[in-house]
């Protein structure tokens, strides 16, 4: 991995209280997630100062820390003026040491799922590293670069963007050889302004690829198709229709055991069985197959590997509940992912009499947020949802467009959950979904045994 003494030289940092071992295996900025061999990055946040958590980090096995002051405890402290800037410089130095291809994953939806599918496909042939969780920001990406092991042969990282230029900056650090754009939609509009801004932000990944590199591009989106000729590398098309190079056919998405389909590739048709829910994951899986194929992985072997990918926490996970089942998709939300989740809710083949949804606010949608929330409520009615529960000021306001049973609560989740318990009876399937800031995993925990 990397040596703290060399890192100190690169950063021009003072190494305080040096003590073996000096070889780091990764980095973390959350003391709760420190693992033995990590370097703890003591960031100064709005509510917490990372320096206050050094004792916890070292108790969990940290071998050093990146700090802007010496709190008088700990060892192998890399003392710098600006911890965040030093983290970036450290990651750039580590990236120079890694002579392997990096794969960048971006899009308005499905980034983490695509990352898991791509990694499983590539692992057939390569020792593949993937970013933890959804570490896709200007803090998360450098942390992941510092955690790539020496024996990795390929690394798969997410690249997120809430504003223009962010993916370009991340790509300059990551230097991806390959990439995938999962799709575009109304997300992060507060920073990206409109759909065109979203498209341009995601396209920054395509512009960062080398000429010999590869981009797997979702061909379902006309805005992306229009830019295909300007891709810096080779463009491979995936999507849901025969216009793509890789696409699904005979998709069966109603089984609670997962989606199955035939993947059509340039050479053959391959049966694929996923443990994941939602018709939309079939196209994402085809994107993973396309990218793996471009990197020399046989399609049949890659397809078998996809069958071992399990649902990620809070992303269309099916849980038993006292009233039937909960479809937990509360990790995040935007209009596009809301539509996909509602479709999954009403199509899953389960022995239920009612389909209900507890929907939270979609954040960061800009000045048209009211229209987007109302459209989601209307979509729920159109899809045939039986009961609707709205949480948050935006969704509660849009609830006025609902003409069926349910309830709305702008602030008090506990009060809303009491109404859910009153109205949701066995056998019911309940979807729970909202933006990350709504923390609707609280609802899932409260409603499950």
pLDDT digits (tens, 9 = 90+) for 241-258: 999 999 999 999 999 999
Residue 192 has pLDDT above 80, yes or no: no
Q: Which helix (H) or strand (E) holds 170?
A: helix 166-174
Instruction: Tell me the per-residue pLDDT of 356-378, one tens digit each, with 9 for 90 and over.
Output: 999 999 999 989 999 999 999 99
Residue 101: closest CA among 172, 147, 153: 153
> Of all residues in the chain, what percent are helix, strand and coil, respectively (each to 5)?
40, 20, 40
Instruction: Tell me the per-residue pLDDT of 124-153, one tens digit each, with 9 for 90 and over.
Output: 999 999 988 778 888 999 999 999 999 999
CATH for the stretch 2-82: 3.40.1390.10
HSE on the CB side for 64, CA within 13 Å? 27
Strands 102-106 and 178-181 come out as parallel
Show the tokens assigned to 284: 């994402």
Residue 32 has pLDDT above 80, yes or no: yes
Total count of residues recorded for the chain? 449
Instruction: Tell me the per-residue pLDDT of 410-434, one tens digit each, with 9 for 90 and over.
Output: 999 999 999 999 999 999 999 999 9
Q: Which helix (H) or strand (E) holds 417?
A: helix 413-423
For residue 20, with 0-12 CB atoms within 10 Å meaning exposed, 13-18 middle and 19 or more buried, which class applies? Answer: exposed
Q: How many CB atoms lie within 10 A of CB 5?
A: 13
Q: How far is CA 341 from the centre of its chain?
A: 16
Q: Tell whether omega for the bond before 427 is within 30 degrees of 0, i.e. cis.
A: yes
* 0.85 exceeded by pTM: yes
- In the structure, what pLDDT confidence band is assigned to residue 47 with cuts at 50, 70 and 90? confident
Q: How many CB atoms lie within 10 A of CB 62?
A: 25
Residue 83 has pLDDT above 80, yes or no: yes
Architecture of the domain spanning 98-306: 3-Layer(aba) Sandwich (3.40)
194-218 burial code (b ≥16 CB/10 A, e <16)? ebebbbbbbbbbbbbbeeebbbbbb
Sign of the alpha-carbon torsion through 328, 334, 340, 345: positive
Residue 232 has pLDDT above 90, yes or no: no
411-447 burial code (b ≥16 CB/10 A, e <16)? eebeebbeebeebbeeebbbbbbbbbebebbebbeeb
In the chain, what are the domain boundaries? 2-82, 98-306, 317-447
- Over range 68-82, report the average pLDDT: 94
- In the structure, what pLDDT confidence band is assigned to residue 195 with cuts at 50, 70 and 90? confident
Give pLDDT, residue 189: 66
Residue 291 has pLDDT above 90, yes or no: yes
- Do 285 and 390 meet the contact criterion of CB atoms below 8 Å apart? no
Residue 164 has pLDDT above 90, yes or no: no
Residue 193 has pLDDT above 80, yes or no: no
Q: How far is CA 233 from the centre of its chain?
A: 24
Residue 1 has pLDDT above 80, yes or no: yes
The percentage of residues in the chain with a pLDDT greater than 70, rounded to a whole number, is 99
Give pLDDT, residue 196: 85
**How much is the mean pLDDT over the chain?**
94
Fold for 317-447, please state it: 3.90.190
Residue 166 has pLDDT above 70, yes or no: yes
Instruction: Tell me the per-residue pLDDT of 337-356, one tens digit each, with 9 for 90 and over.
Output: 999 999 999 999 999 999 99
Beta bridge partners, 78, equal 15, 66
The percentage of residues in the chain with a pLDDT greater than 90, rounded to a whole number, is 88
Show the tokens assigned to 44: 């100064």
Instruction: Tell me the per-residue pLDDT of 308-339, one tens digit each, with 9 for 90 and over.
Output: 999 999 999 999 999 999 999 999 999 999 99
């Amino acid at each position: 991995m990397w040596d703290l003494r060399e890192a100190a030289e690169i950063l021009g940092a003072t190494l305080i209280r040096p003590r073996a071992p000096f070889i780091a295996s990764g980095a973390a900025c959350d003391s709760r997630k420190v693992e033995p061999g990590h370097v703890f990055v003591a960031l100064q946040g709005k509510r917490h100062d990372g320096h206050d958590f050094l004792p916890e980090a070292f108790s969990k096995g940290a071998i050093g820390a990146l700090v802007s002051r010496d709190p008088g405890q700990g060892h192998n402290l890399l003392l710098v003026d600006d911890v965040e800037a030093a983290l970036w410089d450290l990651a750039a130095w580590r990236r120079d040491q890694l002579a392997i291809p990096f794969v960048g994953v971006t899009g308005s939806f499905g980034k983490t799922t695509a990352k898991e599918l791509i990694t499983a496909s590539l692992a057939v042939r390569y020792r593949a590293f993937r970013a933890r969780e959804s570490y896709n920001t200007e803090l998360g990406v450098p942390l992941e670069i510092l955690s790539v092991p020496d024996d990795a042969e390929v690394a798969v990282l997410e690249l997120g963007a809430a504003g223009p230029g962010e993916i370009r900056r991340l790509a300059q650090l990551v230097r991806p050889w390959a990439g995938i754009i999962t799709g575009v939609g109304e997300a992060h509009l507060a920073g990206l302004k409109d759909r065109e801004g979203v498209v341009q932000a995601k396209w920054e990944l395509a512009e960062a690829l080398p000429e010999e590199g590869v981009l797997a591009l979702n061909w379902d989106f006309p805005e992306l198709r229009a830019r295909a000729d300007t891709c810096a590398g080779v463009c491979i098309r995936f999507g849901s229709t025969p216009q793509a190079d890789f696409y699904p056919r005979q998709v069966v998405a109603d089984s609670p055991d997962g989606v199955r389909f035939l993947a059509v590739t340039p050479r053959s048709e391959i049966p694929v069985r996923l443990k994941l829910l939602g018709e939309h994951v079939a196209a994402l899986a085809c994107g993973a197959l396309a990218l793996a194929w471009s990197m020399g992985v046989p399609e049949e072997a890659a397809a078998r590997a996809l069958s071992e990918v399990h649902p990620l926490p809070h992303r269309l996970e099916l849980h038993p509940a006292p009233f039937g089942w909960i479809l937990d998709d509360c990790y995040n939300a935007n209009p596009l992912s809301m539509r996909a989740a509602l479709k999954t809710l009403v199509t899953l083949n389960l022995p239920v009499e009612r389909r209900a949804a507890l929907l939270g606010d979609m954040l960061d949608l800009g000045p048209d947020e009211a229209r987007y929330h109302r459209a989601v409520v209307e979509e729920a009615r159109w899809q045939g949802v039986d009961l609707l529960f709205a949480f948050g000021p935006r969704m509660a306001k849009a609830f006025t467009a609902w003409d069926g049973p349910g309830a709305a609560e702008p602030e008090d989740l506990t009060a809303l959950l009491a109404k859910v318990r009153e109205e949701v009876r066995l056998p019911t399937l309940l979807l729970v979904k909202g933006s990350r800031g709504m923390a609707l995993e609280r609802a899932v925990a409260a409603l499950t045994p």
